[in-house]
Homo-oligomer: A and B are copies of this chain.
Amino acid sequence: MPAISIIQPAAFDRTVFFVSDGTGITAEAFGHAVLTQFNLRFKQVRLPFIDDLDKAHYAAAKINETFEQEGMPPIIFSTLVKEDLSQIIRNTKCMYMDLIQTFVGPLEQELGIKSTHTIGRGQDIANSEAYKNRIEAINFSLIHDDGQSHKNLSSADVILVGVSRSGKTPTSLFLAMQYGIKSANYPLIPEDFERGKMPSALLKYKSKIFGLSITPERLCVIRNERLPGSKYAALENCRFEVNEAEAMMKREGIHWLSSTTKSIEEISSTILQELKLEKRVY
């Protein structure tokens, strides 16, 4: 039977379940989008891989148990595709928020065709073209991390630049994982500032370059975690490097963003938009 994975605040107002016949990632995203509109604390329980009757009954038992214990119907966010399984969950003492049934029915009307009710049509099934692209993009990002490789820069969709510890690696990995985008990343270092120019290997790829910056204070904290008390981490040095890097990016006409105030999702989404990536024809 499925093991339950739980996020439980010390005190909470209501229990929510994310129920899926797959990984539960979409159910969770769906649930969070709705729940963050409420200033309440939620105990969150994941129930992925609910793909047969036995598991559906097990999930239903857990939901009813919660109702018995807490005296309030838990909120269920479901992406279950099979109607028989969905019905079992719907029939519990819960408030059922069904992503699929709510929208698929009306869409059948609009599109003039029936839906397939097929489990496992998730975006990235192992071995699909899209999935292989993502794995390839992750590998590309890792090989081209931190200026390690000058090879194949022409294959990169984007080249991230910024001072050391400005968030290039997490951003390039997120771009790879979420969008299958191949990114190389390059540190801007004191030698570049002395020369007053971007690293030469990058000059012919300028239209692909996106810069990341960070506040000197935040950079100082991060660098001190890595090399405490070093000159590298000193606030003066951080200010110097950040100012030089930002001035250089402005001079070179490169788009850039601060990773201090934007999450890697926001930065990645912005990069896609600004560099007009992914106008793919397939």
List residues of chain B with CB within 8 A of the CB of A276: 3-5
Q: Which one of B32, B95, B118, B277 contacts A110 once the chains associate, using CB atoms below 8 Å? A: B95
Q: Are B170 and A138 in contact (CB under 8 A)?
A: yes
Of all chain B residues, the one with the shortest Cβ separation from A109 is B95
List residues of chain B with CB within 8 A of the CB of A270: 49
**Interface residue tally on A, bucketed by range:** 35 or more
Expressed in whole angstroms, the Cα–Cα distance for A102 and B101 within the complex equals 12
Shortest distance from the beta carbon of A269 to any chain B beta carbon, whole Å: 4
A88 interface residue, CB < 8 Å from B? no
Shortest distance from the beta carbon of A121 to any chain B beta carbon, whole Å: 4
Which residues from 48 to 101 on chain A have a C-beta closer than 8 Å to any C-beta of chain B? 48-49, 73, 75, 79, 81, 95, 97, 99-100
- Offer 26 A-B interface pairs, CB within 8 angstroms, sorted by A: A3-B273, A3-B276, A4-B276, A5-B272, A6-B278, A6-B279, A8-B280, A10-B282, A13-B111, A22-B265, A23-B263, A23-B266, A24-B269, A32-B123, A37-B81, A37-B100, A38-B107, A38-B113, A39-B113, A46-B272, A48-B269, A95-B107, A97-B106, A126-B266, A174-B177, A177-B177
